[in-house]
Chain A
Amino acid sequence: MTDLALLSLSELADAIAARKATSLAATGACLARIEAWQKRTNAFLRLEKDNALAQARVLDAEIAAGKRRGPLHGVPMAHKDLYYRKGEISTAGSAIRREWRAPFTATVLERLDAAGAVDLGFLNMAEFAAGPTGHNVHFGHCRNPWDQTRVTGGSSSGSGAAVAARMIHGSLGSDTGGSIRLPASACGVVGMKATYGRVSRYGAAARSWSLDHVGPLTRTVRDNARILKAIAGHDFNDSTTSERAVPDYEAGIADGVAGLKIGLALPKDGLAPLDPEIGTAVQAAADALGKLGAKISPATLPDFTALYRSAEVIVKAEAAAMHRLWMEATPELYANQVRTRAEAGFFIPATHYIDALRLRAKFVAEFLETSMTGVDAVILPAIPFPLPTIEETDTEKSGGPATLAMVSRFTGLTRPFNTLGVPALSVPCGFDRNGAPIGLQLIGRPFDEGLLYRIGHAYQGTTGFHEKVPV
């Protein structure tokens, strides 16, 4: 008998629509996986078992009555604990908001509800989405299903771990400097940071208003495309959202890559020098796409140093503004590394903050000119080194320069694309010498998520990394 928890999101949704499976059985299968994996991963902060089963029963009754809400009807999901649901606790991974209840529901959760998803609960994350590794001193660190001594990546740590361990079929994360793509890469799943403005941030606790992106983590590229279609689009509650129509990303996903021009970037120096082992895996991915008919050529990336530091100015200034009252009143409620990372924001002049915002248009124009001219997409690693352990990256226990340097290198190849605002997709492309996953990052032009999905889907059609399940 098929374990419904092991089906992809799309397979399950289609089976429920065809009445070959029920949402109740699928939710039960996920609950069994959660029972087996929660102690090993600490992915869930709060499991809403009874609620989820009740939702599933309603959704099954609707199918029986001939009503299908949408493309996610009956599919069990769970989300990073920064998405507000009215009346429910929403911690943002913090002690400060441990008991805080949201006054309204996030737009993206409303859209998932409308598409028929079941919500199993709230997932672990870095405190206030500030941290690239998955450490959390308040609720316990999230652990990687592939090797529980190693980090999950962050800040959407629970999303990566829960999807990888097949506890849920998909999850929303958020990404300010890599927080969807890093856990996707580290846990061996697919993560999309769509174009800035593609998905509403309304009701997602902020890390940085200017750089936050909402997006899905899933097992397959097709699953990811299905969720993005459901959540993307203009929202009157988020003035940064685009009025551009949302394409049907699944419609063209199987068009292949023949004739596409893809630039390959393997940065040897700069902020995040590449470990040769990771470079070999990404080169192999490029070769696989080449065999499918894509034309691969070396890509030139601009020097990201100024861009990266501009992002730091924006994040720190905005974090200082939003956290100031709490940092004055209850600084002891923050993890040291979360508090100290924001402190410089109090001393950044408004003129420099505004200049950093003004520079974004210049940086994106330079990137498109330097790296995207003559190519349809650029590929590069997500995390440039083999995945470290939780111990090696514990900045609370060891705040030494080596630890801090390693942690800061996590975002060297992801944060620039938050400043640039262009879409970035992470897809599993291998395993490192420790058996931990490696992620391939695909970068496209603004609002060209569909092309990234097409490339990622073609790649997954010729490789099996996404089908491997942690045991």
Chain B
Amino acid sequence: MDHPKFDDKRLAEIKAEVEVLNASVAKAAKERLTFDDEPATFASVMEREAPKEIGK
């Protein structure tokens, strides 16, 4: 992989941190995502969910 050099102690710390993050995202993705979900949907949801009358 293309990244800075780390010693074994630091690599072990990073590994532990990444495992938690990856496991969390993987679980959330498995529970929620389908083939058709794409990142750009977020902006569409924001526009769609805005109240019809802003600030009222």
A244 within 8 A of B: yes
| Contact call A355/B10, Cβ cutoff below 8 A | no
Cβ distance A135 to chain B, nearest Cβ, rounded Å: 21
Q: Which residues of chain A in 328-379 are interfacial with respect to chain B, using CB atoms and an 8 Å cutoff?
A: 328, 331, 343-344, 346-349, 352, 354-362, 364-365, 368
A-facing mask of B15-56, CB < 8 A → 1, else 0?
Answer: 101101110111111001100011101111111011100111
| Contact call A310/B24, Cβ cutoff below 8 A | yes
Q: Which of A252, A327, A368 contacts B55 (CB 8 A)?
A: A252
| Contact call A359/B33, Cβ cutoff below 8 A | yes
| Contact call B55/A355, Cβ cutoff below 8 A | no
| Contact call A310/B25, Cβ cutoff below 8 A | yes
- Known A343-B6, A421-B42: A362·B33 in contact at CB below 8 Å: yes
B-facing mask of A402-427, CB < 8 A → 1, else 0?
Answer: 00000000000000000001000000
- Known A361-B37, A361-B45: A347·B18 in contact at CB below 8 Å: yes
Q: Which residue of B lies closest to A357 (CB)?
A: B39
Cβ distance B8 to chain A, nearest Cβ, rounded Å: 14
- Contacting residues, chain A, for B46 (C-beta < 8 A): 195-197, 242, 364, 421, 446-447
Q: Which residues of chain A in 284-309 are interfacial with respect to chain B, using CB atoms and an 8 Å cutoff?
A: 305-306, 309
B3 within 8 A of A: yes
- Contacting residues, chain A, for B49 (C-beta < 8 A): 364-365, 368, 445-446
A212 within 8 A of B: no
* Assembly CA distance A410 to B3 (angstroms): 29
Cβ distance B1 to chain A, nearest Cβ, rounded Å: 7
Q: Which of A324, A331, A357, A450 contacts B42 (CB 8 A)?
A: A357
A277 within 8 A of B: no
Cβ distance A400 to chain B, nearest Cβ, rounded Å: 14
- Contacting residues, chain A, for B47 (C-beta < 8 A): 242, 244, 446-447
| Contact call B55/A352, Cβ cutoff below 8 A | no
Cβ distance B52 to chain A, nearest Cβ, rounded Å: 11
- Known A446-B50, A450-B55: A355·B3 in contact at CB below 8 Å: no
* Assembly CA distance A451 to B11 (angstroms): 47
Cβ distance A322 to chain B, nearest Cβ, rounded Å: 13
| Contact call A346/B4, Cβ cutoff below 8 A | yes
* Assembly CA distance A364 to B44 (angstroms): 11
| Contact call B41/A361, Cβ cutoff below 8 A | yes
Q: Which residue of B lies closest to A366 (CB)?
A: B32
Q: Which of B4, B14, B21 contacts A331 (CB 8 A)?
A: B4
Q: Which of B14, B21, B22, B25 contacts A359 (CB 8 A)?
A: B25
* Assembly CA distance A357 to B29 (angstroms): 10
- Contacting residues, chain B, for A365 (C-beta < 8 A): 45, 49
A28 within 8 A of B: no
Q: Which residue of A lies closest to B44 (CB)?
A: A361
| Contact call A347/B38, Cβ cutoff below 8 A | no
| Contact call B37/A362, Cβ cutoff below 8 A | yes
Q: Which of A310, A346, A361, A364 contacts B28 (CB 8 A)?
A: A310
* Assembly CA distance A310 to B26 (angstroms): 10
- Known A247-B55, A305-B24: A448·B45 in contact at CB below 8 Å: no
Q: Which residue of B lies closest to A358 (CB)?
A: B37
| Contact call B29/A358, Cβ cutoff below 8 A | yes
Q: Which residue of B lies closest to A422 (CB)?
A: B46
Cβ distance B26 to chain A, nearest Cβ, rounded Å: 7
Q: Which of A242, A306, A316, A451 contacts B24 (CB 8 A)?
A: A306
Cβ distance A239 to chain B, nearest Cβ, rounded Å: 10
18 pairs, CB–CB < 8 Å, chain A vs chain B: A197-B46, A242-B47, A244-B50, A247-B54, A306-B25, A310-B25, A328-B3, A343-B6, A343-B10, A346-B3, A354-B39, A355-B33, A358-B33, A447-B46, A447-B47, A448-B51, A450-B55, A451-B51
Closest 4 CB pairs of A and B: A450-B55, A346-B3, A309-B24, A357-B39
Q: Which residues of A are interface residues toward B (Cβ below 8 A)?
A: 195-197, 240, 242, 244, 247, 249, 252, 305-306, 309-310, 312-313, 316, 320, 324, 327-328, 331, 343-344, 346-349, 352, 354-362, 364-365, 368, 421, 445-451, 453-454
